[in-house]
Amino acid sequence: MKIKHLIGTGVVALSLIATPALAHRAWIKPTTTVVSGDDEWISFDAAVANGIFTPDHFALGTEGIMVTSPSGKEVAKQHEQKLRYRSVFDINVKEEGTYRVETASQSLMAFWKDADGKRQMWPGRGKTGTLEEFNKAVPKKADGLEVVESSRRINVFATLGEPSEDAIKPSGKGLELDGKMHPNDLYTGEEISLGFLMDGGAATGTKVTIVKDGEKYRDTDDAMNLTTDADGHIAVTFEEPGMYWLEAEFEDDNAKAPAQKRRGMFVLVMEVLPL
C-alpha cells in the first residue's frame, strides 16, 4: 500500500474503556458511502474486533446507534440483527444529501485504590457516570484517585446525490471532526486536510491512526500514525481507493473539576474513491 502523509502547520455507553490505547478496534462499516437515485438502501456492519473490518470479537449493539437525515430528522434503522461477532442493519435513503450514522457517549470516570490496595474503577465497564452519581459513589480522598472526563464517538457518513454540510457540523462536545472537509468527498491523489476539535476547540496533539481495508491479507497493517498540529489538523494523501478506518485519541489536563484529565476517542470509517 502506497500512502503518503504530511503533518500540516444519542448518548450511549460503548463497551470500551477510555484509555489512550485500546486493545480492540470498533467500527461501523457501510457497504458504500455514496449512492444515487430516488430510493436507495445502504447496509452496515457494527463490531468491536481485533482487526480492521474483520469481525472476530463481539458485536457492537445497534440500540445506541442513531441515524440522522440531511434535514436533521431521525431515520429508523431497519432489519437490525445482533449476530455473534457483528450487528447488522439497513437504512433506506430517500432524501438527497448526507446522513450521519453515530454512536456517542460522555462520562466521568474514576480510578483509585481501596483500603486493601486493590484497584477500583467507577462507573464500571460500558457504563456512563454523571457528576451527581460520582459525588455519591467515589471516595474523595481515596488513595491514588484519578478522575477523567471521557468522551467516545464512532461516526460514518453516507450521501445520496450531492454531499450536504449540516450532517458534518461539529456539536462542540467531545472529540470530533471540525466540519471543514466532507468525509464523502475523498479521492485518491488529492491532499486531504482533516481537522479535529475537542469540546469545540482545536484538538492539538491528537494521535491519529489510519488503516486501509484488507489488513487481514497483509503482513503488517501498514498503519499511518500521525499527530495533529497546533490547529488540530493533519494532512494526508491517499494513493489507493478503498475503505479506511481512522481512530483519533486525545488527552490533556484541561478538564473541569472534579476531573483532572480530558480524554477523547473518535472513530471514522471513510471511503476513498478513485479520481
Predicted pLDDT of residue 12: 37
> What digits encode the pLDDT tens for the residues 43-90?
999 999 999 999 999 999 999 999 999 999 999 999 999 999 999 999
Give domain status of residue 275, yes or no. Answer: no
Give domain status of residue 274, yes or no. Answer: no
Predicted pLDDT of residue 206: 98
Amino acid (one-letter) located at 152: R
Confidence tier at 147 by pLDDT (50, 70, 90): very high
The CATH number of residue 115's host domain is: 2.60.40.1930
Q: What b/e sequence results for 220-247 when a residue is b if at least 16 CB atoms lie within 10 Å of its CB, and e otherwise?
A: ebebbebebbeebbbbbebeebebbbbb
> Cα–Cα distance between 204 and 228 in angstroms, integer?
6
Nearest to residue 167, comparing CAs of 158, 192, 151?
A: 158
Beta-strand runs (E) in 37-190: 40-49, 58-59, 66-68, 74-75, 78-82, 87-93, 97-113, 119-122, 143-160, 175-177
Give domain status of residue 273, yes or no. Answer: no
Q: What percentage of the chain carries pLDDT values higher than 90?
A: 81
Predicted pLDDT of residue 23: 55
Give domain status of residue 190, yes or no. Answer: yes
The number of helix segments (H) and strand segments (E) in the chain equals 1, 20
Mean pLDDT in residue range 188-203: 97
Predicted pLDDT of residue 129: 84
Give domain status of residue 271, yes or no. Answer: no
Determine the structural domain holding residue 233 and report its residue range.
Answer: 3-9+11-266
Mean pLDDT in residue range 216-241: 95
Q: Name the DSSP class of 72.
A: S
Mean pLDDT in residue range 217-236: 95
Predicted pLDDT of residue 90: 98
> What total number of domains does the chain contain?
1
> What digits encode the pLDDT tens for the residues 99-126?
999 999 999 999 999 988 999 999 987 7
